[in-house]
Amino acid sequence: MSSEHFTNQTDQGTSGITRNEQILIAHVVLSLIPSLIAIPIGICLPCFARKIIPSAWFHLHWILQVIFSTIPIIVGFTIVHHFMEKSHYNWADKPHSAFGHILAFLMAFEVIFGAVYTTKCHVNKLRIVHK
């Protein structure tokens, strides 16, 4: 999706990038970097860290999944969603938008499921050591 689809904003800064392009870059960075780096590390962390650091693995997993993954993705989703609403761009029938909404729903489900599962169903097997 290129920036010419949106309301043309010509306030170019010293970088030569339009406001629309800045918003798209922020959306890409806030959505892609967590998806490619933080989420896979957060998924693999429990497998290895349980043996190495049994008292802290869950806290590291939580920090990676919530702070470095979920929050940036929510901000990236919100930025572009708000921008699309303001620009009156018809994004609802675009495949990228549908895919993004599905991913946002699945991410929200995964975070809620993980929180409920660890607190209600599986607390004894977490092996969290409190000092």
Give the tens place of pLDDT for each residue, 69-107: 888 988 988 888 888 878 777 666 778 888 888 888 888
Question: What integer pLDDT is reported at residue 124 of this predicted model?
Answer: 53
- Does residue 7 belong to any structural domain of this protein? no
The reply to whether 2 falls in a domain is no
**Does residue 127 belong to any structural domain of this protein?**
no
Q: Are the CB atoms for 53 and 60 separated by under 8 Å?
A: yes
User: How far from each other are the two terminal CA atoms of the chain, in whole angstroms?
Assistant: 52
Note whether residue 118 is domain-resident.
yes
C-beta of residue 18 within 8 angstroms of C-beta of residue 11 = yes
pTM of this prediction? 0.68
Q: Please identify which residue in the block is written with the tokens 């349980």.
A: 50
Which amino acid is present at 43? I
- The pLDDT score that the predictor gives to residue 1 is 46
Question: Is 129 part of any domain?
Answer: no
Residue 35, in any domain of the structure = yes
Provide the number of structural domains found in the chain: 1
63 belongs to a structural domain: yes
- Cβ atoms of 49 and 14 within 8 Å: the answer is no
Residue 30 lies in a domain: yes
Instruction: Give the structural domain span for 80.
Output: 19-122
**Mean pLDDT, to the nearest integer, of 38-46?**
86
